[in-house]
Every structure is written in structure tokens, then in C-alpha cells.
A = this chain, B = another copy of it.
Amino acid sequence: MPLSKNKIKYIHSLEQKKTRKEERNFLAEGPKLVDDLLGHFPCHYLAATNEWLNEHSSIIADEIAVVTTEELSRASLLKTPQQVLAIFEQAKHNIELEKAQRSLSLALDDIQDPGNLGTIIRLADWFGIEQIFCSPGTVDVYNPKTIQATMGAIARVKVHYIPLPDLIASLRGIPVYGTFLDGEDLYQKPLSEAGLIVMGNEGNGISKEVENLVSHHLYIPNYPQKRQTSESLNVAIATAVVCAEFRRQMIIPKQL
């Protein structure tokens, strides 16, 4: 069955947060990503080239359409459409507070860029961080740009939306880390195995309200050290450097 105009319109409507919220659906494109998500999220619709479908004989989806590359281009949100796109149902995860109390988690305070959020989910997966807590003002995790940037990690990392002060109150007792330009050198501090790492908004950093709840102020040393510059790091980059150091200290704990 070829792609109807209505279907294409529906696919494009999933660029809008409002529609995604009403429909509880999201869009994913490309073989690697769709492969990773199938089996983790119910698939309501899948459109793929004959070639792709021949290699995937046991797909479970409510509706499957064989499409030409040209039809796929019309439906796709990508510059370079790739063989397959699919509509999945959004996950409903419960917050696992006990797990958060005995492991490392991330909290994102109003991250705005969908690519940054996706990249952070991908690196959380690499560093074995299972839960990410987003302030309600953080960009929607089901934004197609976020989903694409996760490269499939969204199937493994659980993302929750919750006011961060409420979360921190529930986690009472665990260390809360944040990065600040006047914080203490990340490499000079022993880091805990369980804790919450808060990362702030791209332009404004961590909000005042959340900053008051941060127990450990960290600083990523630049080089040469502490030179005066106007520069800063992209939030996903800063998250990666901090998470890598937490994990390095867990792997090589006695050397610090």
C-alpha cells in the first residue's frame, strides 16, 4: 500500500510536541535506530523499502507499508532519508527512586536543544547511567531530532520529567553535583559511586532554585588552567567529561 497524503501529513505532524503528546507517539528513522527501537517500544506503523523488508521478515507492527525511496523522501524529516521510518508508542516509565539512590543519575535543568538532549542520552547509555531526570522546561525527549541523536540509546536509558527540587527532596542524602565556573577542580575531588549530576540550560546554566540544592560544586579545568576567557563548553560535552571522570574513578579508585 503506497503512502497516502493523510499518512504523510500525520508523520509530519509528529514534529509538533502537541500532537505527540495527544497521540502518545513518536517518529524514528533509519535502519540502525529503527532496529534498536523495535522490541522496546510498540510499533504502530512502519514504512520501508522492499529491500529493507526482505532483510527483516519478522517485524511486528500494527501496519507495515512497502514504499519506494521517492515516497519515503516525501514522508521523511531527514535530509537523507534511509530505507525505513516508523511510528512508535511513547514509553511510560516509573521513576525508580531506590535505583537512583544507589547509582549515578543525571538531572537536566531546562536543556533546550533537542540534539543536546539526544547526545546526552547516548552518552548516558555508554557510561551506564540508567535514569535521566528532566525539569519540566527541558525539551521533549520525543522530539524527532532528539530521538535521532540518541542513535537508539532511548531504548535503554529511562527519561523522566519531574521538577528537580521535588526529585532532590525525595533523594535526600545522596550527593548532588553541578558544574560551575567557580567550582572545585573535578580531578581533585573524590567522586561518589551514587549521586545526581545536574547539568544546566545552554545559556543560563543551573537555575538559582536548583543551585541552592547542589551539595558539590565542580569545575572542569581548562588548559592552560584558569586562564581568563569568555569561553565555556557545550552542555553535552561538559556532561561527557564529568560522567567519564566519575566512571574513571570507579574503575581506578585508588589512584586519586
Using CB atoms and an 8 Å cutoff, list the residues of chain A in contact with chain B.
32, 36, 115, 119, 122-123, 125-128, 149, 151-153, 156, 187, 220-225, 229-234, 236-237, 240-241, 244-245, 247-248, 250-252, 255-256
Contact = CB atoms under 8 A, between A and B. Distances in A.
B234 A123 contact: yes
Contact of A237 (B119, B156, B223, B250): B119
Contacts of A223: 126-128, 247, 250-251
A233 B123 contact: yes
Contact of A153 (B122, B126, B231): B231
10 contacts: A32-B230, A36-B230, A126-B232, A127-B223, A128-B222, A151-B234, A152-B231, A156-B231, A241-B241, A255-B255
B126 A231 contact: yes
A244 B247 contact: no
Nearest to A129: B223
B123 A237 contact: yes
Contact of A122 (B36, B221, B233): B233
Contacts of A230: 32, 36, 152
A122 B251 contact: no
Nearest to A221: B251
A230 B149 CA distance: 15
A31 to B, nearest CB: 12
B128 A231 contact: no
A229 B36 CA distance: 11
Contact of A128 (B126, B187, B224): B224
A126 to B, nearest CB: 5
A119 B234 contact: yes
B187 A233 contact: no
Nearest to A252: B187
A252 B252 CA distance: 15
B128 A234 contact: no
Given A122-B234, A126-B232, 18 more contacts: A115-B115, A122-B237, A126-B220, A126-B223, A126-B233, A128-B222, A128-B224, A156-B229, A156-B231, A187-B251, A187-B252, A220-B244, A221-B251, A233-B240, A236-B237, A240-B241, A244-B245, A255-B256
